[in-house]
């Protein structure tokens, strides 16, 4: 707190304080004890370090190598920090994850294991890791333009040209992931980061729920975000405890990509329901809403693409490679060629 008891006045961030009234200061405030027009100014910057600042949770060896500039995101158990490599000047993202909970620790080890095996221009790369008892730190690609969901919420749905480009890049990444015997299992717009906007280039992130498939390529774990879950996952969750455990394949990722395509085109979800049970029934029926597509004047080729991916029967769903050959995506091959050419020059 600050109180002005001066004769000539006190300013905080160019605003003059009312005399003898307390004013709350926040980190970074500028205090000036002479008006801006005065030639002799005395200024102070208020600095208020606290336990939640990024540097307080970081290892000294990490700080010796990287300069932390800001926090770019945070959740219940993790923070994402922007960092500059001191020697090269390259910007990275530091994902600082609490490891107190066993489930969190398992997810971290899974993500590290998966990311270390993946090298693709449309997948966020892991460069190195640091560990201490309370946290694990992942040094990742820094992707500057936020995630796809935030972009859609702020700017509205993508054009079909940009949507098809984004979907082609996601499918190319997931085709690569599946070819490595891995399923992502949590594909959603929040896990699609935007590298650039013109042309639009994206990277898939967050492999904390990813799983290496067994010899039969069948999975049994219920996970992922509800609105993007495939019908077979929901059916396995709602089955009786005495029923044989249902299995599902990496086709669940294709369903999620279909949902991402719908959101990209309409800025709304493909299935609705007032309650979770209603949403469950809507997803299992695989009847996506047509009104938002009509309102967005979505082309028939794009609607056919959605139907192609959002098949209720996973055995009828295309592979990622097959989906990439759909006419809606091939119709925008000039955009993709530009992106691929740029990627080839970068690697």
Helix (H) or strand (E) holding 137: strand 135-141
Q: Nearest CA to 131 among 85, 99, 83, 91?
A: 99
Q: Is residue 331 within 8 Å of residue 157, measured between CB atoms? A: no
Separation of alpha carbons 210 and 335, rounded Å? 29
- Between the alpha carbon of residue 336 and those of residues 1, 33, 125, 164, 179, the distances in Å are 55, 58, 21, 9, 21
- What is the DSSP secondary structure assignment for residue 189, as one 8-state letter? G
The set of residues, in sequence order, having a beta carbon less than 8 Å from that of 11 and lying 6+ positions away, is 17, 31, 32, 33, 35, 36
Q: Is 186 noted as a catalytic residue in this protein?
A: yes
Separation of alpha carbons 25 and 169, rounded Å? 46
Rounded (10°) CA dihedral 326, 328, 330, 334: -160
Separation of alpha carbons 66 and 112, rounded Å? 20
The set of residues, in sequence order, having a beta carbon less than 8 Å from that of 194 and lying 6+ positions away, is 143, 145, 146, 147, 148, 151, 200, 201, 202
- Ligand-binding annotation for 253, yes or no, is no
- What is the DSSP secondary structure assignment for residue 319, as one 8-state letter? P
- Ligand-binding annotation for 141, yes or no, is no
Residue that has been written with the tokens 């394949």 in this structure:
249
- Ligand-binding annotation for 191, yes or no, is yes
- Ligand-binding annotation for 95, yes or no, is yes
Which three-class secondary structure state does DSSP give residue 74? strand
Cis status, amide bond into 199, omega within 30 of 0: yes
* 293 class by beta-carbon count within 10 Å (0-12 exposed, 13-18 middle, 19+ buried): buried
User: Which one from 4, 162, 186, 253 is the annotated catalytic residue?
Assistant: 186
Residues marked as catalytic: 186
List residues forming the annotated binding site for ATP: 95, 190-191, 206
Residue list for the binding site: 95, 190-191, 206
């Amino acid at each position: 707190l600050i109180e002005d008891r001066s004769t000539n006045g006190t300013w905080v961030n160019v605003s003059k304080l009312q005399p003898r009234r307390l004013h709350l200061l926040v980190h970074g405030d500028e205090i000036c004890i002479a008006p801006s027009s005065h030639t002799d100014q005395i200024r102070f910057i208020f600095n208020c370090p606290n336990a939640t600042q990024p540097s307080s949770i970081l290892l000294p060896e990490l700080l010796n190598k990287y300069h932390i500039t800001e926090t770019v995101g945070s959740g219940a158990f993790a923070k994402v920090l922007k960092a500059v490599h001191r020697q090269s000047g390259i910007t990275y993202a530091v994902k600082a994850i609490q490891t107190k909970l066993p489930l969190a620790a398992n997810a971290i080890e899974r993500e590290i294991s998966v990311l270390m095996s993946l090298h693709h221009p449309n997948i966020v790369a892991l460069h190195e890791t640091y560990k201490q008892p309370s946290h694990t730190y992942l040094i990742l690609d820094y992707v500057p333009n936020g995630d796809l969901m935030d972009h859609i919420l702020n700017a509205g749905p993508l054009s079909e040209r940009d949507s098809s480009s984004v979907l082609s890049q996601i499918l190319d990444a997931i085709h690569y992931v599946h070819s490595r015997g891995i399923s992502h299992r949590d594909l959603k717009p929040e896990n699609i980061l935007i590298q650039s906007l013109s042309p639009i280039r994206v990277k898939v992130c967050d492999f904390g729920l990813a799983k290496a498939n067994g010899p039969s390529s069948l999975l049994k774990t219920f996970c992922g975000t509800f609105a993007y879950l495939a019908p077979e996952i929901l059916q396995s969750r709602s089955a009786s405890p005495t029923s044989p455990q249902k299995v599902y394949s990496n086709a669940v990722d294709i369903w999620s990509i279909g949902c991402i395509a719908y959101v990209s085109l309409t800025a709304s979800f493909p299935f609705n329901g007032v309650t979770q049970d209603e949403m469950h029934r809507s997803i299992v029926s695989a009847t996506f809403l047509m009104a938002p597509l009509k309102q967005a004047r979505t082309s028939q080729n794009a609607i056919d693409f959605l139907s192609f991916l959002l098949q209720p029967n996973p055995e009828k769903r295309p592979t990622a490679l097959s989906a990439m050959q759909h006419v809606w995506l091939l119709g925008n091959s000039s955009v993709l060629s530009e992106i691929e050419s740029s990627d080839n020059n970068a690697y």
